[in-house]
Amino acid sequence: MRKLFAAAVALAAIGSHQGAIAASAATPCMSKSEFQSVAVTLLPVLHSQAVTSCKAFLPANAGLLVQSAELTARYASSAERERVAAGEILARMLADQLPVPMSGSAILPFVEGMLPGLLAQGIDAQTCEAANNIWTAIAPLPAENIASTLGAILVAASKDKKKDAGESDKSSARPLDDFAVCPYVATAETSGS
């Protein structure tokens, strides 16, 4: 999940302290479009928590901290369009981890409430520096492009992880640690004719 934080926060780096996000045969993965929907929806929470967690480690003029309220508001307007779809995707992906079934409209606030605490764990100056540098570079992009960048980074990072995690890694797993983006090849979109 640290990769989720660092990549989403920096949108390139959601890291290492939040657990493995490596895709494997036993781990379900989200399609590129599913991940984009979830990432766009969670982007306001991720950005807000990144700002909160990194204030102590970054100078006041760091790109992540400058115009943070305006960026969070912009991400929130994009997130609103994806909420229903993202909730249903999360409900399906988390169904086996929940004691009782939950609808997408119920699971999404639960996940949004859980993320800040998960993301705040183990944040340090190095993580914040990487997050700031990457986020600053891609912050002007639309939320959908930021989510696509995050997905591409997670796919690339998952290739570096060992396919067989040790038992000690599995025992410390947290919800959302097993989320992975299915490998894909990005294609160019043609403009309207």
What is the model's pLDDT at position 153?
A: 82
For the record, the structure tokens of 94 come out as: 């988390």
What is the model's pLDDT at position 190?
A: 60
**Mind listing the pLDDT tens digit of every residue in the chain (193 residues)?**
344 443 333 333 333 333 333 333 456 788 889 999 999 999 999 999 999 999 999 999 999 999 888 888 899 999 999 999 999 999 888 888 888 888 888 889 988 998 888 888 878 999 999 989 998 999 999 999 999 888 888 777 776 664 445 544 544 444 445 567 888 887 776 655 4
What global pTM score does this model have? 0.74
For the record, the structure tokens of 19 come out as: 């657990």
Q: Where are the domains of the chain?
A: 2-181
What is the model's pLDDT at position 174?
A: 43
What is the model's pLDDT at position 69?
A: 86
Question: 45 CB contacts (<8 Å, ≥6 apart)?
Answer: 112, 115, 116
Neighbours of 165 (CB within 10 A): 17
Q: Which amino acid is at 63?
A: G
